[in-house]
Amino acid sequence: MQTDSSFTFVLFGGTGDLSMRKILPALYEAHRAGGMLADSGKIVAVARHAADRGEYIQWVNEHVKPHVSKNGVDETAWSSFLERIEFVKIDLGNPEDFALLRDAVKDLPGIRVFYLATGPSLFVPICRALASVGLNENARIVLEKPLGYDLKSSNAINDAVGEIFAEEQIYRIDHYLGKEPVQNLLALRFGNALFEPLWRREWVESIQITIAEELGVEARGDFYDNTGALRDMVQNHLLQLLSIVAMEPPHSMDSDSVRDEKLRVLRALKPINPLDIGKVAVRGQYHSGVIRGTAVPAYATEPGVKPNSTTETFVALKVEIENWRWAGVPFFLRTGKRLADRVAEIVVNFRAVPHSALGASALRAGANRLVIRLQPNETIRLYCLAKQPGEGMNLASVHLDLAFDQFFREGQMEAYQRLLLDVINGRLALFVRRDEQEAAWRWVEPILNEWKASNKPPKPYAAGTWGPAAASAMLAQHGTCWLEEEN
């Protein structure tokens, strides 16, 4: 991907964890690849925890290098990458400091990208301060999640930011949309005649979408205890993945065509009756347990977590889409912390053949299945039945693999790298539009409100397991199970 797009990339929260682990490593990889970033492009880090550029570069050397290429750092490329970086010391709580930023970028070339790798409470003050010094022109603004705490607070942020930046200037980032298998899901569906006729209620029995983490809340206890898994993962990541899986074919891959179809899915989500929430929504909280031989503490004893906290660290949902393509097909969504494995995957379970002349084995569950693995290894695997060698018609499950790292010789692009390049080059298709976000919050809110009103504690589960037993029971009621339970 060659580009001549000159840019000035301003990174707020320049010493923060997200900048160190994801944003700067992604920009370095694009720089190292050659041709992805215009030679004139500059990175301006904004923070108050470094005294000057020299100290900031020392910080970057110490904290960013461990998170870059698996093959190690190319010292020549690293040295030239550091030459792109400038630093401005700013107190974000003092709007007058933004004049320093204005002076630092006024003579730098190209489109200005402002990446807000900060807490959401700073989004509006930063945007207003940028406007006060005239930096909202010829600019794009990138907003990290979470964007608000509920529909009301999300709208308040969007309203305030929208007074300063036009919608086409606003890039609400969801890094799962930048993952290679998600992009390949679109290619498989809309580039091949094989899948599209099967991608509907007549041939799909159920769909599972899982984002599981082995880690706990780490150093984010204060944030997480006021957020929980439903806000942190379901409202954005899981519903965005669901909309990609279930969307109708767009007439083109331009930004609004893709996002229009995703929005139609979100608006077609069947509202959950508060009386049914106990049947279709499971919330859990991890207790102490063992993960890969290491004992880990209970959520309630993690640093920053309130004693006797009722915040959920696990959510499983049964979701339905009220349209002709998907009516009656259950979508099972699941996410949690301190689970048995780190995995993100989409599982499409196709219906068994209506009649088998080959015996009962041709009717068994899991024989016809598509598994799209997003992490840790990005693969797409199609399961089908084949005859076992030897006498008789004995069938066995086999699979066809698309392992990207083996099939394509060039290295895969990480999600943040793809998304940052899209911001620089003005491509909005993989970013969340405001009406999408509102539709997601509108669907999630009744669940949040019912959980708050009922005041029932989350169901406990031991760290290192796959969550509360109720999540498995919910699927059993529909004659199915989670993928790892079947295996």
Say if residue 48 carries a ligand binding annotation: yes
Q: What value does the CA radius of gyration of the chain take, rounded to a whole number of Å?
A: 24
**How far apart are alpha carbons 65 and 408 in whole angstroms?**
26
Is the Cβ–Cβ distance between 174 and 432 less than 8 Å? yes
- The string of DSSP codes covering 422-442 is HHHTT--TTSB-HHHHHHHHH
**How far apart are alpha carbons 214 and 465 in whole angstroms?**
10
Residue 77's identity, in one-letter code, is A
Say if residue 484 carries a ligand binding annotation: no
Which residues make beta-bridge pairs with 400?
382
Hey, which bits of 322-420 come out as E strands? 331-336, 343-350, 369-375, 379-387, 395-403
Say if residue 175 carries a ligand binding annotation: yes
Say if residue 232 carries a ligand binding annotation: yes
Is the Cβ–Cβ distance between 208 and 334 less than 8 Å? yes
The total of other beta-carbon atoms located within 10 Å of residue 276's CB is: 11
164-192 in b/e form (b: 16+ CB < 10 A) is bbeeebbbbbbbbbbbbbbbbbbebbeee
Say if residue 287 carries a ligand binding annotation: no
**Cα–Cα nearest to 314, from 277, 339, 331:** 339
**How far apart are alpha carbons 101 and 347 in whole angstroms?**
47
Tokens of 85: 């970086």
- Kindly give the pairing relationship between strand 369-375 and strand 343-350: antiparallel
CA angle at residue 48 from 44 to 50, to 5 degrees? 80
Tokens of 274: 């508060």
Is the Cβ–Cβ distance between 212 and 341 less than 8 Å? yes
Say if residue 306 carries a ligand binding annotation: no
Say if residue 337 carries a ligand binding annotation: yes
**Cα–Cα nearest to 70, from 34, 27, 25, 24:** 25
**All residues at 6 or more sequence positions from 361 whose CB lies less than 8 Å from its CB, including other chains:** 367, 385, 394, 395
Catalytic residues: 237
**Which residues are annotated as part of the binding site for substrate?**
175, 179, 213, 232, 337
**Which residues are annotated as part of the binding site?**
48, 91-92, 145, 175, 179, 213, 232, 337
**Which residues are annotated as part of the binding site for NADP(+)?**
48, 91-92, 145
